[in-house]
C-alpha cells in the first residue's frame, strides 16, 4: 500500500516561500531533505521531469552530507575500482569528479545525460543504501529494481512534447511504485512537492485512482517493413494490413460506434432541452461542488476502511451500541440512525473483511425502485449517487402510517457522521428479539404501529429514534461532521481533508435551490450520457486514424516505385534489398547516401562525423556563427558532404509530400556535434573535447554524446552489411575502420554489472 502525502511541515515551508520561490530553491530543497532525514524517510528518489533541473537541484544541495565515515569509505573504494578501467584523463572529467564527491555525501543524479559508467555506479550504490537522495528522471522507474523508502515528485505535471499536462495514472503508479522496500518498510511514502497551489482533491484522485489508458494498437507502417514483407511474404501486404490487430477492430467496430454515438447525441440534446429551465451555470457549479464534497467523503471513508483493517480499536470505541450516527441511503443523506452492533466482522460473505454495522433506522415508505440506468450510474461512481448537500429535513408529511423502521446492516461507505451522542442502556439482543418476533421473512421494512406491538425494548428504541429525527430536522452539522476522526486524520497526514469538508459542507447547505433531488437525478443522467459519448468519440477518432493505414500503404508503395526500390509489380530491386537492411532507422536516407556515393571519398573520421547528423537528437546549434565556427573545424570534403546530405534529405521530403506522406527528414538532421565526433574519431581525448572552449557543446551532456557515438557504431554495422549486399568491399573496409577509431575509451567502457570485483565489493 502506498500513502500519498503532502506533508504538513513541508506545505507550511512552501507557503512561507511562495512569493519568492525562485530565489529560495536552495532553502526549500535543503529543508525538504532535512525533513526526510528527521522523519527517517530516506532513501528517497526525487523524480524530476528535466535533466537540467536534476543537475540544478544537485548543485543546490551540494553542501549537505548524509553519509557516515564508513559509507564514505565504501563509496571511495567503489569508485576507485569502477573507474580503474578508465584512462587518467577520463577520470578527470568534471562530471566524474562531481559525481564521486556528491556520492560520498549520499546524493546523486540519474538521467540519460550522465555517463553510462556513472549511471551504473549510482544504481549499484543506491542498491547498497549508500545513496540517500537521488534526483532522477522518469526513466529510472522503468525496468530497474531500485526501491526506496520514499518517492518525491518535484512536480505532478510533465511536458509531453506538445505542452504541460498532469501525470496519468500509469505514469504515477510506475514511479510511486518505487516507494517501499520489500522486507524493510511496512509502507512506502509518496510526497508531492507543492511549489505553488496545492493540487485539488479531484485531480489527485484522477491521477492515483483514475482509469488506465486504453490499450490501443500502435501499428505503424515503415518502408523497411514493406520491403521486407515484399521480399519474403507469399500473401499480399494489403491482406496483412487489413488483418492487423488495429485495422481489423477498426473496420468491425467503427460503423457500429458511429451509429451508437449519433443516437446518444440525440438523447443528450433532448435531455438538455428538457433541463433548459433550471440547468444554469449556478446549478452546474453547485453540482460540481457537491461532487467534490462526495469525493472528500469517499476519501475519508477509505482512510477509515484501511485503518480499520489494521486496528479495530478506534471504530470499536466509536461504534458502540447506542451511538447516534448519520448515514446515507441511495437518494437521501444524513439520516439519523442508532448503532446496535458495530463489532468488526470477517465471517460469512464479508470476503473483503470490512466492518459490518447493524443499525436501527426510521424512514418513509417508498415504492421508488432503481432503474437499469441508475444501476449503471452507481457502478460508475463507487456505488454512490452525487446527491445535493442540504440540511437533513424530516418530511412534513411523515406520519405513523408512512414510516417504517429497519434493522439493517451497513458498511463504512454508508457512514456520513459519527456523533458525540450515545443513548444509554440500549439492549441490542432484546431489540433484535422483538424485531424477529414480528418477522416471518427477510423483509426489512416493518410498519411501526403494526409490528412493534408490546416489545418494550424495540418500542423504546424506535421512540427515541423518532425523537432524534425530530430534533435533527433542519439542523446544520457542517462544522462537526466526522469531528471525532480528527486525531486519526492528523495521524495519517490528512487533516486538511476535514477542514476542506467542513468549509464545503457549510457553503453547500446554505444554498437555496428548489427541486434539487429531481434536478440532480436529471443532471446525473446527463453527466453519465456525456461521459459515454466522449469515450465513444475518442474511440471513434482513434479507429478512424487507424483506418488511414491502407491509404498510407498505397502512398508509400508509390514512393518506393518512384525511387526505384521496387518494380511496378512490387518486386524488390537491389536498391530495395539494401533499404530493407536498415530496419526503420532512416532507411531511405541511408540507402541514398550509399547509392549516391556520398561517403566513398570521405575518410573514416569524416564518415563518423557525417553519420552523427543522422543519429544525434540533442540540442541544435543552427545559426550562422556556429556554422562558420564548425566550417573551420571540419575538412572541406566533410562540409561538402554535409551540403549533399541536406540536398538528399530535402529531395526525399519533397517526393513523400507529393504523395501526401508527412515527413521531416531534413529537419531531423542535426549537425551540432559533427566537429566533436570528427575530433573523437581523429583520436582526441574525451577530456580535451569536453574542455575545448572553441566548441559549442556547453549544453550537451556527456551521456548524450556517449550515446550518440555508440549508436554511430551500431549504424556502421548496418551500413557494412549493406556494403556486403552490393559487393562494395571498399565501403566495408572503411566502415570497419570507422568502428575501430570510435570504439575506445570511456565511450565504450565495459558495464560494471559484468565486473566480479565490483559486484562482490
- Written as one string, the DSSP assignment of 39-76 is TT--SEEEE-S-HHHHHHHHHHTTT-----HHHHHHHH
Using H for helix, E for strand and C for coil, what is the string for 634-668? CCHHHHHHHHHHHHHHHHHHHHHHHCCCCCCHHHH
Kindly state the cell numbers that stand for 105. Answer: 555525501
Supply the pLDDT for residue 261: 82
| Residues 6 or more apart in contact with residue 347 via CB below 8 angstroms | none
Q: Could you please report the per-residue DSSP string of 102-119?
A: HHHTTEEEESTTS-HHHH
Residue 708 has pLDDT above 50, yes or no: yes
Residue 544 has pLDDT above 60, yes or no: no
Supply the pLDDT for residue 656: 93
Same domain, 330 and 365: yes
Supply the pLDDT for residue 118: 94
The residue written with cell numbers 512569493 in the block is: 19
Question: Which of 453, 479, 513 lies at the terminal end of a domain, its last residue?
Answer: 513
Q: What is the DSSP letter of 200?
A: P
Same domain, 228 and 193: no
The residue written with cell numbers 430536522 in the block is: 473
The residue written with cell numbers 528522471 in the block is: 137
674 close to 685: Cβ distance less than 8 angstroms:
no
Same domain, 639 and 547: no
Summarize pLDDT for 596-645 with one digit per residue, the tens.
999 888 999 999 999 999 999 877 766 555 566 666 778 899 999 999 99
Kindly state the cell numbers that stand for 112. Answer: 540519460
* Nearest-angstrom CA–CA distance, 441 and 486: 41
Same domain, 192 and 290: no
Report, as an integer, the average pLDDT of 654-672: 90
Residue predicted with more confidence, 173 or 220: 173
Is residue 79, in this structure, part of any structural domain at all?
A: yes
How many domains does the chain contain in total? 4
Supply the pLDDT for residue 614: 92
Confidence of residue 392 (pLDDT cuts 50, 70, 90): confident
- Whose CA is closest to 749, among 114, 225, 116? 116
Summarize pLDDT for 109-140 with one digit per residue, the tens.
999 999 999 999 999 999 888 999 999 998 88
Round the average pLDDT of the chain to a whole number and report it: 80
Same domain, 450 and 462: yes
Supply the pLDDT for residue 714: 93
Residue 499 has pLDDT above 90, yes or no: no
Q: What is the DSSP letter of 547?
A: T
User: Out of 61-65, 372-376, 477-481, 664-668, which region has the weakest mean confidence (pLDDT)?
Assistant: 372-376
- Whose CA is closest to 392, among 284, 315, 323, 473? 473
Is residue 574, in this structure, part of any structural domain at all?
A: no
Same domain, 487 and 535: no
**How big is the CA angle at 685 (ends 87 and 79), to the nearest 5 degrees?**
30
Is residue 573, in this structure, part of any structural domain at all?
A: no
- Whose CA is closest to 36, among 247, 206, 190? 190
Count, residues in the chain: 761
Same domain, 263 and 289: no
Confidence of residue 441 (pLDDT cuts 50, 70, 90): very low
Q: Give the domain extent around 645.
A: 581-752
Is residue 571, in this structure, part of any structural domain at all?
A: no
Is residue 536, in this structure, part of any structural domain at all?
A: yes
163 close to 128: Cβ distance less than 8 angstroms:
no
Residue 540 has pLDDT above 80, yes or no: no
Supply the pLDDT for residue 619: 74
Q: What is residue 544's three-state secondary structure? A: helix
Same domain, 99 and 13: yes
Same domain, 731 and 615: yes
Same domain, 678 and 602: yes
CATH number, domain of 630, equals 1.10.3380.30
Cis geometry, peptide bond prior to residue 580 (ω within 30 degrees of 0): no
Summarize pLDDT for 509-538 with one digit per residue, the tens.
777 777 777 888 888 888 888 888 888 887
Residue 657 has pLDDT above 80, yes or no: yes
Supply the pLDDT for residue 731: 92
Question: Which of 156, 186, 209 lies at the terminal end of a domain, its last residue?
Answer: 209
Is residue 586, in this structure, part of any structural domain at all?
A: yes
Supply the pLDDT for residue 593: 93
Is residue 759, in this structure, part of any structural domain at all?
A: no
Supply the pLDDT for residue 14: 42
**How big is the CA angle at 213 (ends 538 and 413), to the nearest 5 degrees?**
105
Question: Which of 490, 513, 536 lies at the terminal end of a domain, its last residue?
Answer: 513
- Whose CA is closest to 660, among 549, 551, 542, 544? 551
Report, as an integer, the average pLDDT of 55-59: 91
Same domain, 368 and 319: yes
Report, as an integer, the average pLDDT of 41-62: 91
- Whose CA is closest to 148, among 116, 123, 118? 123
Same domain, 472 and 519: no
**How big is the CA angle at 336 (ends 332 and 338), to the nearest 5 degrees?**
135
The residue written with cell numbers 442502556 in the block is: 425
Ramachandran assignment for 282, one of left (phi > 0), alpha (psi -120 to 50 degrees), beta (any other):
alpha
Report, as an integer, the average pLDDT of 703-715: 93
Summarize pLDDT for 556-573 with one digit per residue, the tens.
999 999 999 999 888 899
Is residue 633, in this structure, part of any structural domain at all?
A: yes
Residue 402 has pLDDT above 70, yes or no: no
Amino acid at each position: 500500500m502506498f500513502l500519498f502525502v503532502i506533508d504538513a511541515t513541508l506545505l507550511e515551508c512552501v507557503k512561507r516561500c511562495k512569493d519568492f520561490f525562485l530565489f529560495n530553491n536552495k532553502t526549500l530543497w535543503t529543508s525538504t531533505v532535512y525533513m526526510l532525514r528527521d522523519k527517517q524517510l530516506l532513501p528517497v528518489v526525487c523524480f524530476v521531469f528535466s535533466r537540467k533541473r536534476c543537475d540544478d537541484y544537485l548543485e543546490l544541495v551540494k553542501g549537505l552530507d548524509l553519509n557516515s565515515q564508513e559509507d564514505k569509505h565504501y563509496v571511495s573504494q567503489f569508485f576507485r575500482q569502477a573507474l580503474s578501467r578508465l584512462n587518467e584523463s577520463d577520470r578527470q572529467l568534471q562530471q566524474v569528479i562531481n559525481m564521486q564527491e556528491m556520492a560520498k555525501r549520499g546524493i546523486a543524479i540519474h538521467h540519460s545525460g550522465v555517463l553510462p559508467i556513472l549511471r551504473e555506479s549510482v544504481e549499484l550504490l543506491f542498491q547498497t543504501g549508500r545513496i540517500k537522495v537521488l534526483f532522477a528522471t522518469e526513466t529510472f522507474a522503468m525496468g530497474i529494481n531500485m526501491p526506496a523508502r520514499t518517492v518525491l515528485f518535484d512536480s505532478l505535471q510533465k511536458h509531453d512534447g506538445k505542452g504541460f499536462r498532469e501525470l496519468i495514472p500509469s505514469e504515477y503508479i510506475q514511479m510511486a511504485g518505487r516507494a517501499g522496500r520489500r522486507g524493510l518498510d511496512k509502507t512506502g511514502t509518496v510526497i508531492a512537492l507543492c511549489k505553488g497551489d496545492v493540487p485539488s482533491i479531484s485531480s489527485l484522485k484522477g491521477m492515483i485512482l483514475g482509469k488506465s489508458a486504453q490499450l490501443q494498437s500502435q501499428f505503424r507502417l515503415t518502408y523497411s517493413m514493406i520491403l521486407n514483407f515484399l521480399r519474403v511474404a507469399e500473401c499480399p501486404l494489403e491482406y496483412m494490413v487489413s488483418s492487423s490487430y488495429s485495422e481489423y477492430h477498426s473496420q468491425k467496430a467503427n460503423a457500429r460506434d458511429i451509429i451508437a454515438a449519433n443516437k446518444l447525441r440525440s438523447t443528450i440534446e433532448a435531455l438538455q432541452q428538457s433541463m433548459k429551465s433550471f440547468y444554469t451555470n449556478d446549478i452546474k457549479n453547485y453540482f460540481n461542488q457537491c461532487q467534490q464534497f462526495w469525493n472528500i467523503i469517499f476519501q475519508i471513508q477509505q482512510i477509515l476502511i484501511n485503518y480499520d483493517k489494521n486496528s479495530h480499536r478506534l471504530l470499536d470505541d466509536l461504534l458502540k451500541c447506542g451511538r447516534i450516527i448519520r448515514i446515507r441511503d441511495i437518494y437521501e443523506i444524513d439520516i439519523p440512525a442508532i448503532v446496535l452492533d458495530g463489532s468488526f466482522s470477517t465471517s460469512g460473505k464479508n470476503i473483503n473483511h470490512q466492518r459490518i454495522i447493524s443499525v436501527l433506522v426510521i424512514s418513509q415508505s417508498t415504492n421508488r425502485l432503481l432503474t437499469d440506468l441508475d444501476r449503471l450510474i452507481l457502478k460508475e461512481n463507487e456505488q454512490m449517487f452525487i446527491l445535493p448537500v442540504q440540511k437533513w429535513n424530516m418530511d412534513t408529511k411523515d406520519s405513523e402510517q408512512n414510516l417504517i423502521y429497519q434493522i439493517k446492516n451497513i458498511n463504512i461507505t454508508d457512514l456520513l457522521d459519527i456523533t458525540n451522542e450515545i443513548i444509554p442502556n440500549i439492549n441490542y439482543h432484546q431489540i433484535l428479539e422483538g424485531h424477529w418476533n414480528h418477522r416471518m421473512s427477510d423483509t426489512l421494512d416493518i410498519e411501526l404501529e403494526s409490528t412493534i406491538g408490546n416489545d418494550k425494548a424495540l418500542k423504546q428504541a424506535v421512540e427515541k429514534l423518532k425523537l432524534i429525527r425530530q430534533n435533527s430536522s433542519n439542523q446544520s452539522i457542517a462544522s462537526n461532521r466526522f469531528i471525532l476522526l480528527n486525531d486519526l486524520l492528523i495521524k495519517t497526514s490528512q487533516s486538511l481533508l476535514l477542514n476542506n469538508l467542513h468549509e464545503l459542507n457549510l457553503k453547500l447547505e446554505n444554498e437555496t435551490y428548489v427541486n434539487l433531488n429531481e434536478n440532480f437525478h436529471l443532471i446525473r443522467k446527463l453527466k453519465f450520457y456525456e461521459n459515454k459519448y466522449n469515450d465513444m468519440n475518442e474511440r471513434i477518432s482513434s479507429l478512424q486514424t487507424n483506418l488511414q493505414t491502407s491509404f498510407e500503404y498505397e502512398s508509400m508503395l508509390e514512393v518506393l516505385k518512384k525511387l526505384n526500390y521496387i518494380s511496378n509489380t512490387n518486386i524488390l530491386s537491389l536498391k530495395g534489398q539494401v533499404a530493407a537492411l536498415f530496419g526503420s532507422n532512416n532507411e531511405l536516407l541511408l540507402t541514398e547516401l550509399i547509392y549516391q556515393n556520398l561517403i566513398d571519398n570521405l575518410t573514416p573520421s569524416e564518415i563518423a562525423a557525417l553519420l552523427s547528423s543522422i543519429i544525434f537528437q540533442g540540442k541544435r546549434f543552427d545559426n550562422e556563427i556556429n556554422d562558420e565556427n564548425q566550417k573551420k573545424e571540419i575538412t572541406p570534403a566533410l562540409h561538402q558532404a554535409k551540403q549533399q546530405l541536406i540536398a538528399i534529405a530535402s529531395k526525399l521530403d519533397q517526393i513523400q509530400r507529393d504523395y501526401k506522406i508527412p515527413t521531416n527528414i531534413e529537419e531531423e538532421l542535426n549537425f551540432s556535434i559533427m566537429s566533436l565526433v570528427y575530433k573523437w574519431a581523429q583520436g582526441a581525448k574525451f577530456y580535451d573535447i569536453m574542455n575545448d572552449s572553441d566548441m559549442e557543446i556547453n549544453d550537451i551532456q556527456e551521456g548524450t554524446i556517449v550515446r550518440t557515438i555508440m549508436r554511430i557504431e551500431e549504424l556502421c554495422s548496418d551500413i557494412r552489411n549493406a556494403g556486403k549486399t552490393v559487393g562494395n568491399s571498399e565501403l566495408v573496409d572503411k566502415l570497419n575502420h570507422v568502428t575501430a577509431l570510435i570504439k575506445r575509451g570511456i565511450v565504450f567502457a565495459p558495464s560494471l554489472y559484468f565486473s566480479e570485483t565490483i559486484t562482490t565489493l
